[in-house]
């Protein structure tokens, strides 16, 4: 994760935290100038797969979007990102890009330019074309209008996006969601993500110039309400605040579900002891049994073992202490923080360790090799990340990020739901689920 120059998390008002958005649909070494209140890493596995699959450039700036409204009246889209010069850009209804300019403002200034793209009535589809590369992008969809703000940091304009976490955010009562996108000379890469929260159900389909199609169906139409019901039942079973992850409108309708790490940011004592026994069991087991991490790189399989209460892996430049619940749900703090000085082996091990914790696969048969088990074995043991488990149950094809390293899978499997191509033609997005 590339941190902002003003990465202060206070969660008080719209200007309370400035953490640079690092979308998963982003190749390495790009530092976006868009901010919100989440802080997640770009999965190392996805980055390596992205670079491999898009190694031959199509070199075509044009990209078409087909936006299908399967939801309601009053749905708007917003396409924001960065151009090839790292400037923030927002697509306008006339097809040109608006370049926000905070003009030196040190407090957030509302974006008043009309940048909303109205979708047609339910059942209709509109086409949107862009003729410039865009990276670190999000395509927002909302029932109603979203508010964006900007400010200046070191003479650079920073865009502040709607926050799913801050109850005082001007867009807090609006139902919204987004698709992550990067479109460069090397190709396009997009995904739907529930890493931050679950919002409007979205599905994506990418058609290439030769005519091949990749699709991720996304969540079912009533997913948010169903997920909240299941989380309430889970809370009754284990006494953890799963039900409190749900956010509701002024009328009591469930409009989104926060990721556990965001809930812990607001309630630091939440889930504090949830993983303790499991972590201790993992540490005890791998004191006498080797843990094999398949880096899925040229480095191959690496042997790890617990010694002196830390996990040490062959060829790794750093060892691993026991994580906390916050570390496990977020995957980028404590032992899972990746530093600029970390070597390739460390960068490969971190996502695989964190994925195994979230899916609770360390102590089941075959769990001594990570990753090696199919998705049928994920989330079958308590404690586990029930937020992720339940999300995948309501994804029509089981695909879509439900925690930061959901792209970690054995060869041939893909639970992340990414679509990518070096020769893209149309990215179709369905709003409203199936």
Number of domains forming the structure of the chain: 2
- What pLDDT score was predicted for residue 86? 93
Q: Which residues contact 427 (CB under 8 A, 6 or more apart)?
A: 63, 64, 65, 66, 181, 188, 190, 204, 205, 206, 207, 419
Q: What was the pLDDT predicted at 22? A: 42
Q: Quick check: is 5 in a domain?
A: no
Is the peptide bond prior to 222 cis by the omega test (within 30 degrees of 0)? no
Q: How confident is the model at residue 48 (pLDDT cuts 50, 70, 90)?
A: very low
Pairwise CA distance, residues 96 & 159, whole Å: 18
Does residue 169 share a domain with residue 61? yes
30-39, 313-322, 368-377: least confidently modelled range:
30-39
pLDDT at 25: 53
Tens-digit pLDDT profile for residues 401-428: 999 999 999 976 777 789 999 999 999 9
> Does 359 map to a domain?
yes
Residue 6: pLDDT above 90? no
Tell whether the model's pLDDT for residue 47 goes beyond 80: no
pLDDT tens column, 320-366: 999 999 999 999 999 999 999 999 999 999 999 999 999 999 999 99
Same domain, 291 and 198: no
Average pLDDT (262-274) is 97
95-100-106 Cα angle (round to 5): 165
What residues are paired with 408 via a beta bridge? none
- Domain check: are 70 and 203 in the same one? yes
- Domain annotation covers residue 64: yes
The CATH number that applies at residue 23 is 2.60.110.10
Question: Is the residue at 376 inside a domain?
Answer: yes
Query: Residue 365: which domain range?
Result: 276-382
User: DSSP labels for 351-377?
Assistant: HHHHHHHHHT-TTSTTTTEES-S-GGG
> What's this model's pTM, rounded to 2 decimal places?
0.85
Q: State pLDDT tens for residues 69-93.
A: 999 889 999 999 999 999 999 999 9
Residue 2 domain flag:
no
Count the helix, strand and coil residues of the chain and give each as a percent rounded to the nearest 5: 20, 30, 50
Q: What angle do CA 191, 195, 198 make, to 5 degrees?
A: 90
Asked if residue 159 belongs to a domain, the reply is yes
- CATH number of the domain enclosing 374: 3.30.920.50
Is 298 in the same domain as 353?
Answer: yes
Whole-angstrom distance, CA of residue 142 vs CA of residue 175: 6
Query: Would you give the distance in Å from CA 214 to the centre of its chain?
Result: 19
Residues 285 and 200 in one domain: no
For residues 192 and 106, state if they share a domain. Answer: yes
Q: Is residue 407 part of a domain?
A: no
* Residues 425 and 342 occupy one common structural domain: no
> In sequence order, what E strands does 165-290 have?
175-184, 187-192, 197-198, 202-208, 213-216, 246-248, 254-258
């Amino acid at each position: 994760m590339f941190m902002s120059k003003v990465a202060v998390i206070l969660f008080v008002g719209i200007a309370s935290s400035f953490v640079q958005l690092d979308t998963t649909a982003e190749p390495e070494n790009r530092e976006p100038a868009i901010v919100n209140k989440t802080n997640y890493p770009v999965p190392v596995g996805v980055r390596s797969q992205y670079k491999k699959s898009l190694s031959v450039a199509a070199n075509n700036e044009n990209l078409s979007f087909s936006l299908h409204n399967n939801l309601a009246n009053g749905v708007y889209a917003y396409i924001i990102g960065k151009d090839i010069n790292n400037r923030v850009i927002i697509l306008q209804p006339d097809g040109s890009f608006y370049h926000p300019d905070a003009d030196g403002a040190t407090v957030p200034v509302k974006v008043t330019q009309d940048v909303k793209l109205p979708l047609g009535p339910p059942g209709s589809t509109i086409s949107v074309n862009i003729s410039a590369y865009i990276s670190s992008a999000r395509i927002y969809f909302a029932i109603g209008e979203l508010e964006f703000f900007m400010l200046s940091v070191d003479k650079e304009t920073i865009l502040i996006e709607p926050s799913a976490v801050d109850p005082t955010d001007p867009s807090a009562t609006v139902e919204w969601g987004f698709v992550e996108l990067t479109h460069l000379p090397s190709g396009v890469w997009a995904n739907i993500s529930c890493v931050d929260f679950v919002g409007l159900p979205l599905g994506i389909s990418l058609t290439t110039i030769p005519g091949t199609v990749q699709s991720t169906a996304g969540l079912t139409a009533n997913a948010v309400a169903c997920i909240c019901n299941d989380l309430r039942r889970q809370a009754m079973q284990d006494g953890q605040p799963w039900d409190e992850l749900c956010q509701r409108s002024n009328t009591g309708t469930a409009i989104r579900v926060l990721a556990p790490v965001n809930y812990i940011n607001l309630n630091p004592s939440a889930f504090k002891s949830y993983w303790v026994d499991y972590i201790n069991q993992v540490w005890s087991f791998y004191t006498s049994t080797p843990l094999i991490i398949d880096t899925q790189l040229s480095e191959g399989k690496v042997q790890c073992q617990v010694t002196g209460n830390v996990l040490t892996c062959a060829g790794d430049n750093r060892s691993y202490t026991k994580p906390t619940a916050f570390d496990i749900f977020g995957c980028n703090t404590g032992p899972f923080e990746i530093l600029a000085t970390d070597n390739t082996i460390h960068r490969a091990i971190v996502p695989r360790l964190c994925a195994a914790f979230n899916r609770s696969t360390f102590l089941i048969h075959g769990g001594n090799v990570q990753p090696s088990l199919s998705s049928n074995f994920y989330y079958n043991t308590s404690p586990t990340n029930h937020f992720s488990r339940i999300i995948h149950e309501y994804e029509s094809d089981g695909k879509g990020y439900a925690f930061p390293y959901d792209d970690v899978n054995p060869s041939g499997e893909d639970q992340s739901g990414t679509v990518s191509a070096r020769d893209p033609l149309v990215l179709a997005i369905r709003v409203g689920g199936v």
